[in-house]
Amino acid sequence: MGRIFIAGAAGNIGSALVEELDRDGIVAGVHSPEKAETLAGKGVEARVFDFADADSMARAMDGCDRLFLVLPFREELARYGRLAVDAAKAAGIEYIVRSSGYGASSDAHWRLGREQGMVDQFVEDSEIPFTTLRPNSFMQNFIGPLAPMVRSGVIALPEEDYAVSYIDVRDIAACAARLLTDGEGHTGNAYALTGPEGLTLHQVAGKIAAAGGITVTYTPVEEEAFIRALDTNGVPEWNRNMLVSLSRVVKLGMMGNVTQAVEYLTGTPARSFDGFAEENAGAWKQP
């Protein structure tokens, strides 16, 4: 049996997946020699590739028969997805686990869902056996891009009081690992992955405050103010538009549903936000 190629192995989900799998059985795909060197220091074979170059991806996948495909959050997402599928076919990949997005569909009425869904369709049309994971928003966003906002004491987002069933990326990785090591019975299926509860940002702020011993509140803002803040922070236009579309979907009440897919695939319930907040309380302390 060949090995598993992890596209984007230095990203949120990819790095968690590296930790889940036997290192002798994986090849980590990264975008820079520095990231490859870091992984090599941990005993992981890493190969540099470029999502914009199908030939470089096919070379990086050489000797692998399974692919974990997650794509960078940028304007070229759909094109990168098409090139990755072409590379997988050229490299002889026999099974793809695709990490998409919650509610994604090629005919979704919101932009990010539609772009992710286009890639899902490329994977399906490739005739390579596949399983699609569609995770909800990541808990890790609160220790990543939203951490400065949390540390400021005010979470200011245009989501009003609607719930999101946030998921820990480690649970996404655990589901992917389960499928990549034994996908029998799951080929052609799609799984919506969520955490164990839908939470409003008022509730999220309360849980972070309790875990960190800090003061954090949620202040809903108008969409126009959110857009101005993104522009001020230099967020590229495509990314800004996707984030706005995501906030609109939250306000349609579409992101608060809870599924049992994590436990179904892994045998272990999805991690709670309370546990996540306690584990990462130090990330929100003022330096």
Q: What percent of the chain has pLDDT over 90?
A: 95
pTM: 0.96
CA dist 262 and 75 (Å) reads: 29
**pLDDT tens readout for residues 9-32:** 999 999 999 999 999 999 999 999
CA dist 69 and 97 (Å) reads: 6
**pLDDT tens readout for residues 155-184:** 999 999 999 999 999 999 999 999 999 999
* CATH 3.40.50.720 applies to domain 3-136+168-193: yes
Residue 205 clears pLDDT 80, i.e. is over it: yes
The answer to whether the CB of 124 falls within 8 A of the CB of 104 is no
**pLDDT tens readout for residues 55-73:** 999 999 999 999 999 999 9
**Coil, helix or strand at residue 92:** coil
CA dist 259 and 79 (Å) reads: 30
Main-chain dihedrals φ then ψ at residue 217, nearest 5 degrees: -130, 165
Among candidate residues 104, 95, 112, the one with its CA nearest the CA of residue 176: 95
Tokens of 133: 């994971």
105-111: average pLDDT: 88
